[in-house]
Amino acid sequence: PCLVLYHIYCSQNLMDSKMGHASNRKRKAPPSPSEQSTALTFSIIDRLGVLDDVLSLFRQASLNLRHIESRRARDDSLDYDFFAEIDGQIPAGFIEQVEALGGVHVRLLQEAGDAKAGGVWFPRSMRDLDRFASQSLSAGADLESDHPGFNDPVYRERRAKIAEVATSYKAGQQIPRIEYTPDEIATWGVIYRKLEKLRSTHACEQYRRVFPLLVEYCGYAEDNIPQLQDIDEFLHGHSGWRIRPVTGLLSSRQFLNALAFRTFFSTQYIRHSSMPLYTPEPDVCHELLGHVPLFADPEFCKFSQEIGLASLGASDEFVDKLATCYWFTVEFGLCREGEGEVRAYGAGLLSSFGELRYALGGDETKPTYEPFEPHVAGSTEYPITKYQPKYFVCASFSSMTQKMRAFSLTSDRPFHVAYDPLTEKVEILDNPKQMAAMVQRVMDDLSVLTGVLAGQKW
């Protein structure tokens, strides 16, 4: 089964976390698309009624369309390309029947139950991420019995109200502002002050450099909880990254898919005030104090997006490996800087006073360090109810990106993808014309750089 996202925050006996196996929390993730759907593309030469003819064959075969989208065909001999996701398997001879209509070409990307075929449904544009808004595994007032706010009806009602914001949000809209209560701001302040003591000595250079800018431009302060809209504008101006609200837990596939679009899903509600140093789920303290500062760093963003791109259409097994790499880097990663000093860049550490000290050798019990290698980290088991016994240390964010890019090539996905920052869409690189266009873009950039270098006086 896919991994499920968790945030566990405590400065004593528990740790911050983003991902944990569903079985550890007695919550089962929804079935992966690879287990229950078929994905295919069909391309047509435009003529009167051709699309209706194709769809009528779907109806005759009792095939339920879960998703369909169109675009101008990239092949000059055709007019339109369609991507379709269908419940279950297609009957024998169906593809031949469709192509017999004439002027229609069908390509099977993935058949239900065959994860190795790849091609499970995945978002192709920023707006496709809206589909995840209603698919979180828990949200709003739905709390488990171990949650500090389980028996607090006022807290549950407040949570449900804040979750409504994420449910109704669509890509491109302004993120509604939350008017946080004095009690919520006080809870934020406890955590903010605790972490402030360790920021200069334990956080990586990129985190330390960005944090003052968040104070200046996004209102980071012990007596103010920043708004996602202000953070979104700040990040987009610095690194091209986006942040958007989410109601609760997402499957690891959904969460990682969003990273491919330079987008981070963030909760807006805060933990229960009775236990300010603990929460068994995502909350705004972990997101804003742990994750946001690093998403203003372009090199870190490249690495995060590389994991996201590798997750698109990948098998469940490979997504599990990517999610585990995410755990040991974006959540609990360490790096070397200066003269070899170890510093934290993982959000699970940077938002946890206790584990941040422990990870950098502040306790009698010392963890072990290991150089980051995706093929090793992706297969390493980890606990979710205690501090990590092992941390992976990187030399730089750029080296991590290169290693992750090489690791993604070991996926059994039968195609490659590329992100177009101008259109904020993902393209499947499956024909020579696309690849030629991509090469041309690289050549154009190289031409500009060559001109700049030629005019320099060194």
Helix (H) or strand (E) holding 82: strand 80-87
370 annotated to bind ligand: no
331 annotated to bind ligand: yes
- From the candidates 286, 287, 311, 411, which is the catalytic residue? 286
Tell me which residue has tokens 């488990």: 144
Catalytic site includes residue 216: no
Instruction: Say if residues 137 and 4 touch (Cβ distance below 8 Å).
Output: yes
- From the candidates 281, 287, 331, 355, which is the catalytic residue? 331
Q: What is the distance between the alpha carbons of residues 159 and 181, in angstroms, rounded to a whole number?
A: 12
Q: What is the distance between the alpha carbons of residues 424 and 79, in angstroms, rounded to a whole number?
A: 23
Nearest to 327 by CA among 399, 265, 252: 252
Quick one: three-class SS letters along 148-183? CCCCCHHHHHHHHHHHHHHHHCCCCCCCCCCCCCHH
Catalytic site includes residue 236: no
- From the candidates 252, 351, 352, 408, which is the catalytic residue? 351
- From the candidates 85, 281, 291, 304, which is the catalytic residue? 291
Q: What is the distance between the alpha carbons of residues 299 and 286, in angstroms, rounded to a whole number?
A: 21
Nearest to 334 by CA among 345, 325, 323: 345
Instruction: Say if residues 214 and 226 touch (Cβ distance below 8 Å).
Output: yes
Catalytic site includes residue 222: no
Catalytic site includes residue 331: yes
As a whole number of Å, the CA-based R_g of the chain is: 23
Binding site residue list? 286, 291, 331
The residues annotated with a catalytic role in the active site are: 286, 291, 331, 351
Binding site residue list for Fe cation? 286, 291, 331
